[in-house]
Amino acid sequence: MDIVDRFLKYVSFCTTSDENTGMTPSTPGQMEFAGFLADELKSIGLKDVSLDSNGYIMATLESNLPSGSQVPVIGFIAHMDTSPDASGKHVQPRIVKAYDGKDVMLNEAENIVLETAKYPEILRYTGQDIIVTNGKTLLGADDKAGIAEIVTAMEYLVQHPEIKHGKVRIGFTPDEEIGQGADHFDVKAFGADFAYTMDGGAVGELEFENFNAASCKIHVHGVNVHPGSAYHKMRNSMRIAYQIAVMLPRFQTPEHTQDYEGFYHLIGMNGTVEETTLSYIIRDHDRTLFEYRKRELEHLVRKINTEYGEGTAEIEIRDQYYNMREKIEPVMHIIDLAKSAMESVGVTPVVKPIRGGTDGARLSFEGLPCPNIFAGGENFHSRYEYLPIPSMEKACQVILEIIKRIK
């Protein structure tokens, strides 16, 4: 199957993850997609295809090297879910042929426009065919483009046995977007010496540094009485929660930081007079600063409890993943391998830190070194997401070149 047709089929599945369900996978659409993928992997000729009860898929492209050849087992990993930040239901992709460098009308009826002034990166793809949304949902290139690239590369190798290669392992995970993608990934069963996640953005990206990451929930308890008799009795949890929010540094937020700078990100605020919950994510590349950020939030909660009474605010912090750099540095040859593969297909490697994370970050700490390679999309998690088709094709070529070099 053509890589574009494959991707367009994949985005028809609604696989939005949801951190509130307490299940794995967190949403039923992911298991539906996983079942489709497992059948597809069998149909293209991969072996040992497995789909477990948590929605994890593994499969093998068997070595065709002479018996007794000793080469590392390499893996490629991508995730099936899409971000809860934007709707992933009823995705309606459209291919813009030979993009002309102008604003792209995504939805004329609602005047939703992909503007070059706001998203100037799109100008790099002038003349290319680009897949866009209808402006009402995300596209799902994060990370269905990665899946399409991996599956297409495997199909090509099955159909071209003259290309000699060692054993390759494939893994597709659920719930990466909510920080749970590696929760039930069996590194031992996967059996690779090292792997790559195909989960990066623009063409050329190669990443082995990522944020240290934690999620945080602050629960604020209030007291509600009739406002006419509230004097010295009411305790409005929403006002107290707002007090916590504004005590954090104003410019240490995603919209005011870049490169290696960390942040606090308020991603949810739900409340009534009696009960309010603030949901944060905490990010920093530096482990020491990351730990400081967590302590600062705990300190603010203690201040609130000192002012309003013990138990007014409660905090829950959960570490999600750590910076994989310390696990990749001892095996930098796998970065050099990816660089040389990119260069051989005409892609300039762009080594940069991830202002986010991947399954590979956690897997690296579990004994599977796993840097990240571009999948090709732009504006992830957004209704303005788009995917240049040549970028996706280049990512597939990079996978093939990496595999060819493992001998």
Residues annotated as part of the active site: 81, 176
Q: Where are the beta strands (DSSP E) in 7-158?
A: 47-51, 57-61, 74-79, 94-96, 104-107, 112-114, 130-132
How far apart CA 254 and CA 34 sit, in angstroms, is 33
191: which DSSP letter?
-
Give the C-alpha distances (Å, rounded to integers) separating 242 from 166, 200, 355.
Answer: 57, 35, 27
Q: Is 400 helix (H, G, I), strand (E, B) or coil?
A: helix
Q: Cβ(99)–Cβ(126) under 8 Å?
A: yes
3-state SS assignment for residue 3: helix
Query: Residue 79 in contact with residue 181, Cβ under 8 Å?
Result: yes
* DSSP-based three-state secondary structure for 284: strand
Q: Which long-range contacts (CB under 8 A, 24 or more apart) does 64-70 make?
A: 64/161, 64/164, 64/165, 65/164, 65/165, 65/166, 65/407, 69/166, 69/407
Beta bridge partners of 194: 74
At 186, the amino acid letter reads: D
Look at the block and give the residue holding tokens 């954090």.
Answer: 248
Amino acid in position 22: G
| Cα separations in angstroms, 185 against 105, 188, 213 | 41, 9, 19
DSSP letter at 66?
A: P
- The answer to whether residues 394 and 376 touch, using CB atoms and an 8 Å cutoff, is yes
Give the Cα separation of 141 and 381 in Å (integer). Answer: 9
**Rounded CA separation 81/379 (Å):** 16
